[in-house]
Amino acid sequence: MASTAMRIGEALILVGGILIIVFALIGSLGSIALSDFLRGVPRAYAFGSGLALGIGLLVNLVAGVIAIIGSRRAYSLIWAVVLLIVGLFVGGWGGLLVLIGAIIAIVARYV
């Protein structure tokens, strides 16, 4: 039973990590399309919004990679806590799946 629950947790974390990366890439395409609308905005404001979008993209990509790498190591308490933080920090559907998968992995490990 515990190994089945652990596999379910790992699968949820893996799918969540993939969703985080896919949604980050889709969001970056949206920010590229948005840059055409920022032509009339003064450069200081356009730079700030572009920088915020770029940092958000980078954070989501790193979080997705961490979730994918950590999906096989979710049995460890340290990795489970890291994945819980990633799930809480990123949010969205992918973050929710990572969060639920990490909780399932922790419960399966210690019950």
pLDDT digits (tens, 9 = 90+) for 62-108: 999 999 999 999 888 999 999 999 999 998 899 999 999 999 999 99
- CA distance from start to end of the chain: 10
Query: Torsions phi, psi of 74, nearest 5?
Result: -65, -15
What is the Cα–Cα distance from 6 to 43, expressed in whole angstroms? 50
pLDDT digits (tens, 9 = 90+) for 12-23: 999 999 999 999
Q: How far is CA 10 from CA 36, 77, 82, 99, in A?
A: 40, 13, 14, 11
Q: pTM of the full predicted structure?
A: 0.81
Per-residue pLDDT band at 43 (split at 50, 70, 90): low
Query: Residue 41: pLDDT above 70?
Result: no
Q: Domain residues of the chain, as ranges?
A: 2-110
> Structure tokens of 56?
């958000």
